[in-house]
Amino acid sequence: MRRTCDHVAVDVHPARALWQCIEPYHAVTYFTDEARAAFEEIGLRGFWRGYFAGRAAPLGAVGTGAVVATFYGFHPDFVAKAIPGVWSIVSPSDAIAAREAGAEAALMRRLDVPSSDLLRAARLVLEATDGCDPFARALFAANHDLPWPREPHVALWHGCTLLREHRGDGHIAALYAADVDPCEAHVLRLAVAGMARETIAPYRGWSDDDWTAAAERLAERGWLDGRGAITPVGIDSHAAIEADTDRMAEGPLRALGQDGVDELLAIMRPLAIELAASGTIPFPNPIGVPAVDRR
């Protein structure tokens, strides 16, 4: 895999290329004023109440443990500040509706795309989900049970959500199989990318001691050196995890076939670039999606 700065090179695995193009469309639910306003309108003040309620709601009124397990990257105490308390304010169905309304408002304001393109992309994404295995994919399966929205741009957002949660569930499985815990995963990714801890630490709840201990564990495995820099062993180990993630995300590619993948990317790539250029999706960002290469 070849990278240049924040941008992704063109020679990545097709499953990763698909994720890079659909993730920005989904991510309006995290980075836009419209999304935050939709959650505030139902009483969820503060970003994290809306985030945890909206993303966890397809699972039902779950407790802290279920969110810690399925989201993977957050300290349990950080999750507990919102879950399960949010369910005394809103129901899961209200949170789902607010999340969808926020995404709809954000996309309507920011994108001017022919409805025919959106409808075609939504149909392709729906077809892609036919290749998604629901087993051991809790967040994907829960979102898959939700009804598809009727409006093309919202249906596309829902489909992108399904594909990104399907990939995310697989990524967690790959990390767990590699014996990489949540805080170690953050340390490893930042070391590979050459990014500062501050780009993600405030958003995951791990203490300085947690970060230091995670780096020490990775150093004991030979993945980091004494200064916390990535080693060749660490680079290879990280690449193996990413390769496993890509492999487990190949189902949608098989469902679409090469022509379908190419057509979906041709629609989604310009949208991802437009959302990045507008400032809607910041780079770098806590969710780890890089900007799509303009070439």
Distance CA 19, CA 163 (A): 8
Q: How many domains does the chain fold into?
A: 1
Does residue 153 sit within a domain?
Answer: yes
238 in a structural domain: no
Please indicate, yes or no, if residue 54 is contained in any of the structural domains: yes
Q: Among residues of the chain, what percentage have pLDDT more than 90?
A: 84
The tens digit of pLDDT for each residue in 41-53 reads 999 999 999 999 9
Phi, psi values for residue 139, rounded to 5°:
-70, -40
Q: Does pLDDT of 11 surpass 80?
A: no
188 within domain boundaries: no
pLDDT higher for 241 or 280?
Answer: 241
Does the residue 130 lie in any domain? yes
Contact yes or no for 98/50 (Cβ under 8 A): yes
- Assigned token pair, 127: 């077809």
Helix, coil or strand: residue 230: strand
Residue 246 lies in a domain: no
Residue 294 included in any domain: no
Distance of alpha carbon 285 from the chain centroid: 11
Residue range 218-251, pLDDT digits in tens: 999 999 998 999 999 999 999 999 999 999 999 9
User: Which pLDDT band holds residue 295 (cuts at 50, 70, 90)?
Assistant: low
Residue 52 structural domain: 16-162+257-284
Q: Is residue 232 part of a domain?
A: no
Take residue 265 and report the two structure tokens written for it.
């990317």
Order of all β-strands in the sheet with 7-8? 3-4, 7-8, 291-292
Q: State yes or no: pLDDT of 6 exceeds 70.
A: no
pLDDT of residue 3: 35
Distance CA 114, CA 72 (A): 37
Q: What is the pLDDT of residues 82-97, one digit of tens each?
A: 999 999 999 999 999 9
Res. 64 pLDDT band, cuts 50 70 90: very high
